Every structure is written in C-alpha cells, then in structure tokens.
C-alpha cells in the first residue's frame, strides 16, 4: 500500500515583481511614442511601432510568470510558473550564505535579487526581482538550522 505524500507547507512564494522589468517598460514607451510621433506627422509605418510596443508589453507579461519562487520549511525552490516544473532547488541545510543585491533603480522600485549560496556544492540560486526582498531574506534566514 502506497502512502500519499502531503505537499510541503509554503512559507513564502512570489513571482518576480512587475518593477523588475522596468527596462522593458522604458523601451515599450519609447516605441509607442515613436509610433505616436509618426502618426502625428502623417509618416508611414506608425502601425508597426504601435504593434512593437504591444509586443513588448506581451513579452513582459509572459516572462514575469516564467519563474516562481517558493520557500518551504526544508528548501528554496524555483519553478516554472506555467508548467510548475522545478527548475532549481536548494535544501535549507545546504545554505551557507544569503546576499541581497540592489542597484539604485531596484531600490527605487523596492525590489532586489537574493543570491543564495550552498556550502558544499558551491552553487547558487538567484531569486531575481523580488518585491520586499528584506522580508523574503528574513523568512529564509529564520528557517535556517543553527550552526
């Protein structure tokens, strides 16, 4: 007789923040403005610029859900947001350090990247574009076993 396994309790979960794609917003707005200028001055090709801006917006929507971050009492997991296929994971007992990376634009948007390094395998997980990264970092550190 097989025992049904219970899914692990989720402590924290998130997709990358919308602010993580601010550079794509910039290009989307630039492309749309160019289309508007072409339309305003009666120049041909304005439709393609507007279509390009719409395509960039769709790209943002699609890639935002590509990665999905989950923290459970035993591990940190990165899954594909569409298929729920596990991309990478790290057991909490293997974590050596957690670093928060934030540039000036990321700080403005209130996002950051958590870099989680393992102790034995010298590999790392990067949780990119996390909203309120200090909260996620504190939750993971609270779960780490005492050393």
- Note down pLDDT in tens along the chain; length 147 residues: 455 566 789 999 999 999 898 889 999 999 999 999 999 999 999 999 999 999 999 999 999 999 999 999 999 999 999 999 999 999 999 999 999 999 998 999 899 999 999 987 789 999 999 999 999 999 999 999 886
- The CATH number given to whatever domain includes residue 53 is 2.30.29.30
Q: Has residue 126 been placed in a domain?
A: yes
What is the DSSP track for the chain?
-PPPPPPPPPSEEEPPPGGGGHHHHHHHHHHHHHHHHHHHTT-TTHHHHHHHHHHHHHHHHHHHTTEEEEE-SSEEEEEETTT--EEEEEEGGGEEEEEEE--HHHHHHTEEEEEEEESSS--EEEEEEEESHHHHHHHHHHHSPP-
Q: Which domain holds residue 58?
A: 10-147
Overall domain count for the chain: 1
């Amino acid at each position: 007789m097989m025992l049904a396994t219970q899914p692990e309790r989720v402590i924290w979960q998130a997709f990358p923040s919308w602010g993580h794609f601010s550079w794509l917003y910039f290009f989307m707005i630039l492309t749309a403005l160019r289309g508007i200028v072409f339309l305003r001055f009666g120049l041909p090709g304005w439709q393609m610029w507007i279509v390009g801006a719409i395509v960039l917006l769709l790209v943002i929507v699609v890639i935002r859900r590509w990665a999905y971050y989950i923290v459970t009492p035993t591990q940190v997991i990165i899954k594909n947001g569409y298929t729920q296929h596990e991309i990478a994971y790290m057991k909490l007992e293997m974590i050596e350090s957690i670093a928060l990376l934030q540039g000036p634009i990321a700080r403005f948007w209130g996002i950051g990247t958590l870099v989680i390094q393992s102790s034995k395998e010298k590999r790392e997980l990067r949780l990119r574009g996390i909203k309120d990264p200090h909260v996620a970092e504190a939750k993971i550190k609270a779960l780490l076993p005492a050393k």
